[in-house]
Structure 1
Amino acid sequence: MSRSTLADWVGQCSALVRPLVETIRQYVMSAKKIHTDDTPVPVLEPGNGKTKTGRIWTYVRDDRPSGSNEAPAAWFAYSPNRSGEHPQAHLLGFKGTLQADAFAGYDAIYESGAVREAGCMAHARRKFHDLFVARKNDVNTEALRRISELYAIEAEIRGKPPDERWRVRQERTRPLMNDFELWLRSTLSMVSQKGDTAKAINYSLNQWQALTLFIDDGAVEIDNNAAERALRAVALGRKNFLHFGSDSGGERGAAIYTLVATAKLNGLDPEAYLRHVLSCIADHPVNQISELLPWAVADQLPSYAA
């Protein structure tokens, strides 16, 4: 099914699906840990035929890597720009751990202490990987080797309960991270402070407390890849359509992504799920809207083939 078809469906039924999207939002925000990220989207500006850059934000609840049986879900939101006020508004009232990149717009969210900052090792790795691709040398090669050791441990304990992950990380990951920090600081003193290598090193060191939070909390991940995976559909969509027609179109698009991504996270064929929801939601009692959540109808619909 094309994106334009989905947009037509949800556009025509936006008032009907709004309670379902809101229920998913509430479910995501009730989690103890959320992954978040954002990506640019082109949006038509009214009157002049030109486009501006809006943003699609995703907030993902998915604790399956730490052995949870709770259903995963993703809520998407649109904003006309990347001001920090938007994630701050989205996360108002949330208490727990926020797994994110180093975007300064999140900083105000951590100030009260109600939300803990968990960093993303994938972002730190990407800084060195980009240098490795451009010009391989001993420093970026060694950085990637050390990070790969951390990921090898994570692969072994994926799906294990938090207490087991905590124990393994204390025994095996903490010594590696301690050595990695010492190596980063030593290497930083030997490279040009204005060069790209120093920038890559400083990114990790400036984020060190957030990057190491996962060691002491078995429910936290080493990276923010859950949110990045959720945004792939948006990136793919940019290749298949020119732009959103307006800010309200961006909001409807966010509703589409919420329903599609949550269906896929729960192993459902998203087209079949949307057809099911839109065929019965008009007559469904609003106070029983949770009966239409993807995990509530999973046994009635075909599975998703990636």
Structure 2
Amino acid sequence: MASAHALPHDPENLRASAARLLAEVKAQAILIEKLRHQHAGHRVHRFGASSETAEQLQLALETSEIASAAMAAKLRLPDVEETDLPKRRPIPDHIPRQKVELTAASDCCAGCGGALRRLGEDVTKELEYVPGRFSVNRIVRPRLAYSGCERFAQAPLPLRPIERGCPGPGLLAHVLVSKYADHLPLL
């Protein structure tokens, strides 16, 4: 419609023409918003990573810490200490267990010749996989003290594939073969 003279004089035709114009304006507004969103995404992709500096990231971190502290104070939530959180779930009781006791190398002290007496023990649990079933190796290392002097003796812990972890070498081998050779998902 180039001019006002081209508008229809009939009210029904005017309403239909106005409805078409409104639909076209809405479609153009949606297209404009879509293009603005794409443009903003391209700007972030092109300029975002290089424009962020360590100071800006540090400021954002401090701002989020202040906001979380304010929210905790507002809700009066108790602070959670690391000792309250469990480290890992215990191994279920239905899995069979095997006890392995490691003893010290010598029965008497080389310096004083005193005999060993038991003070306590350190227990380490290791989840192992034997083809077709799981088992738990319960490694017990007694702490022993010499009676003639103040020295202690304890057998060293055997080498483990993951330091301070509970999976044994058989379990790790099973997981790796299942994942990479048999192409099974990790669940």
TM, length-normalised to structure 1? 0.17
Greater fraction strand: 2
The structure showing larger relative contact order (alpha-carbon pairs under 8 Å, at least 6 residues apart) is 1
